[in-house]
Structure 1
Amino acid sequence: MPVAMVLLCLIALILPTPSAWAQPAAPEAPPDEPEWTLLAPLRVVRLDNGMTFLLYPNDRAPIFSGVIRYDVGGKDEIPTQTGISHMFEHMAFKGTSRLGTTDYAAEQEALAEVERLAYAYDRLRNQLARDDSPTTARLDALRELAMQFQAAQAAAGQYVVKDEFDEIYSREGGSQMNATTSPDATTYFISLPANRLPLWARMESERLADPVPREFYREREVILEERRMRLDNSPLGRLWEITMATAYVAHPYGYPTIGWESDIANLKATEAMAFYRRHYTPDRAVGVLVGQFNPEEAEALLRETFGKLPPAPEDLAEHRIVPEPEQMGERRATLEFPATPALLLAWHKPPAPGKADVAAELLGQIVAGGRSARWFERLVKEERLAAEVHTFTGPGDREPNLFMIYATPQPGHTLDELEAALREEVRRVRTEPVSAEELERARKNLRADTIRALQTNLGLARTLAEYAQIGAPAPGEIDPWYLERRLHQLEGLTAGDLLAFAAEYLTDANLTVGSLTPPPSAEETPPGAGARGGTDSGASEEIQGT
């Protein structure tokens, strides 16, 4: 499954799911099928505060990888605050009241003044943006506020110890330290020498318990520039954004994970901390350790450190994500941009852990999973109509999502020709079963892809964390064995299952078409302006851009 990277309305009915594709409950027991022993070493540790850890010891080398994955991402955002989960991810590296500061008491006062001026400056800036004829006095007032705002940030900055969190880890042999935010989750990860496990547990539990949003407004500008590079100036990023916003009219999957530009420009530190308090509760987190460690000693350490994180308040209001209403007809979104023409076709479907999600992955592998796949053979090699064609699912995996096709035409062919050919191929998978040879080859390739992703400690840790959360039916629940359980689902699918999936979901009424086309007056497309070739997951990551 690609791991992947994109208006609240009145309450609407969720996309209906036939009983054949019903979502299973998350079982507490490991799989009992004897032919699969992939997760045999796995140990599950549940803390009293609701946080769960998966321990997978091995002796490959005296190192370990640690992952913390919160079931918190773009799906949890509301209008006017899109991008706030990604913003908080950046804040999580700024330290705590102990790390990253020379005098936290004084810094607190300075940050309060920064926040007061941020609200005043943004308010006046927004007012003037709507004023066709602002007075000189109001423009002068904005300039004065801007200077005060900058001065306050400089005053707060004098207490900052730059990158102390990162430097401690680097000094102790840390590598691969990073974090990612997706529509579904926020993930923090690092690899360290085996004897630094106590350091990791203290550092990670401390930043989750006591984050400080220092340098927030400098980071806000960094993210605005990141958005301009990844989306505003990227033809694929723009195509992705407009297609998701068209496919989803209510659900937050229609928002870009990085946020709308106007929302990012108005995010506040107090809002980010409120988002953190609302969503970063231990029951929505899963931690994973893979590598060289003693499981009993590791469990005691985790209880001593992460076990001190306060549980979710009993009176915390239920978090409800607006469901997407059933799509009742084809939708289209057209982007005019001076770049290589491209198509993005998207159909709504149920998410993991249901059978339909595995069927979508298997079908995508059959039709577009590599150079021997059906559509590559027909559309790229034989008919020379497509330059590339890929399939993937997204924007997330936790909520009802999309089965997608991304394709670009070869020179001399139009988007209309390419779309017609793709729609004919989709009609075929709705009406003609795939061959036994195609089915087995695709299964073999997906099994191999899964195993390759688990070859490193960090790869296994990140995969375990992701699958444990997307395999569960609700926030606060996990299925530690879903990675192995999914392989069993894969083995059990038949050609008839794929035919049923395509017939149920890959319909014209359920389709959104996004097209990228050069403006009529544009000159010849600049070299390299469009999509690059690659695997399905690579295409997905490039298109999503986050």
Structure 2
Amino acid sequence: MRAILKPMGLTLVLYATTASAQAEDVTTFTLDNGMDVVVIEDHRSQALTNMVWYRTGAADEPAGKSGIAHFLEHLMFKGTDKMAAGEFSATVAANGGTDNAFTSKDYTAYYQQVAADRLDLMLKMEADRMVNLQMTEQDVATERDVILEERNMRIENSPQALFSEQADAAQYLNHPYGIPVIGWRHEMEQLNQQDALTFYHQYYAPNNAILVVAGDVEPDQVRELANQYFGPIAPNPDLKPRVRPQEPPQLAERRLNFSDPRISQPYLVRSYLAPERNSGDQRQAAALTLLASLLGGDSTTSYLATKLQFDTQTAVYTSASYSGMSLDKTEFNLIVVPAQGVELADAEKAMDQAVADFIAAGPDPEDLERIKTQFRASEIYAMDSTNSRANRYGAALAIGLTVQDVQDWVPTVLDISADEIIAAAKTVLDRRASVTGFVTPSEPVTTGTEG
């Protein structure tokens, strides 16, 4: 027992020390126009990550315009009345840096990784494209072809991705999370210049944005530059509250049979509608995080792996996953790849029985401590990266969490009890709020189990 406790105790001390020191290195303030700013000091190298996050993503798109958030992300690199198309990225590269952007269901973010003494230039360019974006009809046509080809590569050429689209659409009866971030192809083909400009003028404003600067900077320096470049930009007085259609009670299990000749091995997927992390109340999300790790966070040592891959040899791979990082309800997922000769229906029954046994018995105390130790260690490593920390704070604030919520997250997870994990499992693993998919290389199967 002493050999087990010592590493855990050391990890806890390391985490507490690291978290305390880095919490003191985080400074936040809000500009007069409503733009939130987070400064994360890290003076170990003369470099920084600069990010501008907008509180808008695919789930905020108007009906019939799926993909417009991601489309606009591409068009944001086309130029302004001061910079030519492509000049933004070329300038970053000429100054020894890299830049890119990404769109999710809840936010769109733009970032640069550069030397610390280039912050002034980065903020100047980001402020410029926040209000002065220019695009020609040719820019729009060219970039529309780019995103359609991106859909071909990422979705159409991947049967797994095609199935995931169908499963998401089935999981969300009313919420726009059921619409793919990249968009439905038939709607993407119709996106035009006015669609992009309308979305841009509605959501790209300082009172809908978060500036995160992480690296070799001082808070007063960032405050001065943020006020200089973003301060003069007027907020959007017509920015509406972020209200989306919500899910009604889900009372009927949904089942999908998906077949594609490109599938090499049959597998089953189960998703459950699950709560997200909520500001000031993250305990249920923390319990679900641990539940996912215990059930299937490791394909060799987790509960499902032990029961299905080793004890009964029903499966060759198992997994469970959950992320509460969303503005609205999210998903808890289970995956099982059956062993050779095992039918998907039998693998599903074995999975359900294993989950039921886990709930009845509760987590093994040593397994729970091991999972928490691994979680602490991963957080220590994550905090060592300024880029990781910038992403963590930016994403959190973009979905309605606070800086305090970010700093409370790990202690909350470590404080979760076995009873809370089982309570969360009983609440969330409800077959009525689930979608089960059988993915096969041949014709769809019609077998299944009763919920």
TM norm structure 1: 0.74
Which piece of structure 1 moves more, 33-42 or 316-325?
33-42
Which piece of structure 1 moves more, 35-44 or 287-296?
35-44
Aligned to 2:132: 210
Which piece of structure 1 moves more, 423-432 or 37-46?
423-432
Aligned mates of 1:438, 1:330 — CA distance in 2: 31
What secondary structure is seen at the aligned counterpart in 2 of 1:351? coil
Aligned mates of 1:391, 1:411 — CA distance in 2: 21
Matches within 5 A, 1:205-354: 205-214=127-136, 215-313=139-237, 315-338=238-261, 339=263, 340-353=265-278, 354=282
Aligned to 1:444: 373
Aligned mates of 1:274, 1:463 — CA distance in 2: 29
- CA apart distance, 1:193: 0.7
Does the 8 Å contact 2:52/2:111 carry over to 1? yes
What secondary structure is seen at the aligned counterpart in 1 of 2:23? coil
Aligned to 1:518: 441
Measured against aligned partners, the alpha-carbon deviations of 1:101-145 in whole angstroms (never above 9, x if no partner) come to: xxxxxxxxxxxxxxxxxxxxxxxxxxxxxxxxxxxxxxxxxxxxx
Distance 1:395 1:410, change over 3 A: farther
Aligned mates of 2:256, 2:348 — CA distance in 1: 14
Aligned to 2:432: 509
Aligned mates of 1:41, 1:74 — CA distance in 2: 32
Distance 1:51 1:316, change over 3 A: closer
Aligned to 1:170: 93
Aligned to 1:4: none
- Report whether the alignment pairs 1:82 with 2:6: no
Aligned to 2:297: 369
Aligned to 1:42: 26
What secondary structure is seen at the aligned counterpart in 2 of 1:513? strand
What secondary structure is seen at the aligned counterpart in 1 of 2:73? helix
Matches within 5 A, 1:453-464: 453-464=382-393
- CA apart distance, 1:298: 1.7
What is the count of residue pairs matched by the alignment?
421
- Report whether the alignment pairs 1:201 with 2:123: yes
Question: What code does the residue aligned with 1:498 have?
Answer: I
Aligned mates of 2:288, 2:270 — CA distance in 1: 14
Does the 8 Å contact 1:78/1:252 carry over to 2? no
Question: What code does the residue aligned with 1:74 have?
Answer: A
Does the 8 Å contact 1:74/1:184 carry over to 2? yes
Aligned mates of 2:324, 2:203 — CA distance in 1: 20
Runs of 5+ in structure 2 lacking a partner? 1-15, 446-451
What secondary structure is seen at the aligned counterpart in 1 of 2:438? strand
What secondary structure is seen at the aligned counterpart in 2 of 1:431? helix
Does the 8 Å contact 1:431/1:503 carry over to 2? no
Aligned mates of 1:428, 1:280 — CA distance in 2: 50
- CA apart distance, 1:254: 0.3
Question: What code does the residue aligned with 2:110 have?
Answer: Y
Measured against aligned partners, the alpha-carbon deviations of 1:254-303 in whole angstroms (never above 9, x if no partner) come to: 00110000010001111111112222232332211111123212211111
Question: What code does the residue aligned with 2:94 have?
Answer: R
- CA apart distance, 1:319: 4.2
What secondary structure is seen at the aligned counterpart in 1 of 2:33? coil
Measured against aligned partners, the alpha-carbon deviations of 1:306-332 in whole angstroms (never above 9, x if no partner) come to: 12222121x444442000111002111
RMSD: 2.0
Does the 8 Å contact 1:71/1:284 carry over to 2? yes
What secondary structure is seen at the aligned counterpart in 2 of 1:69? strand
Runs of 5+ in structure 1 lacking a partner? 1-32, 101-160, 473-477, 523-546
Does the 8 Å contact 1:335/1:517 carry over to 2? yes
Aligned to 1:57: 41
Aligned mates of 1:462, 1:352 — CA distance in 2: 16
Does the 8 Å contact 2:296/2:321 carry over to 1? no
Which piece of structure 1 moves more, 405-414 or 183-192?
405-414
- Report whether the alignment pairs 1:91 with 2:75: yes
Question: What code does the residue aligned with 1:364 have?
Answer: A
Which piece of structure 1 moves more, 63-72 or 257-266?
63-72
Measured against aligned partners, the alpha-carbon deviations of 1:13-59 in whole angstroms (never above 9, x if no partner) come to: xxxxxxxxxxxxxxxxxxxx999514111111211111111111121
Aligned to 1:418: 347
Aligned mates of 1:487, 1:77 — CA distance in 2: 33
- CA apart distance, 1:87: 0.5
Question: What code does the residue aligned with 2:205 have?
Answer: T
TM norm structure 2: 0.89
One of 367, 370, 381 as aligned partner of 2:310: 381
Aligned-pair identity in percent equals 28
Aligned mates of 1:282, 1:40 — CA distance in 2: 26
Does the 8 Å contact 1:55/1:295 carry over to 2? yes
Does the 8 Å contact 1:243/1:344 carry over to 2? no
Aligned mates of 1:292, 1:421 — CA distance in 2: 53
- Report whether the alignment pairs 1:356 with 2:284: yes
Question: What code does the residue aligned with 1:333 have?
Answer: L
Aligned mates of 2:419, 2:217 — CA distance in 1: 46
Does the 8 Å contact 1:86/1:181 carry over to 2? yes
- CA apart distance, 1:456: 2.1
Question: What code does the residue aligned with 1:490 have?
Answer: V
Does the 8 Å contact 2:277/2:325 carry over to 1? no
Aligned to 1:525: none
Aligned mates of 1:415, 1:79 — CA distance in 2: 37
Measured against aligned partners, the alpha-carbon deviations of 1:454-495 in whole angstroms (never above 9, x if no partner) come to: 32221221112112333x3xxxxx511322211121122111
Which structure has more relative contact order (CA 8 Å, sep 6+)? It is: 1
Aligned mates of 1:298, 1:179 — CA distance in 2: 21
Question: What code does the residue aligned with 1:290 have?
Answer: A
Question: What code does the residue aligned with 1:264 have?
Answer: M
Aligned to 1:30: none
Aligned mates of 2:135, 2:284 — CA distance in 1: 41
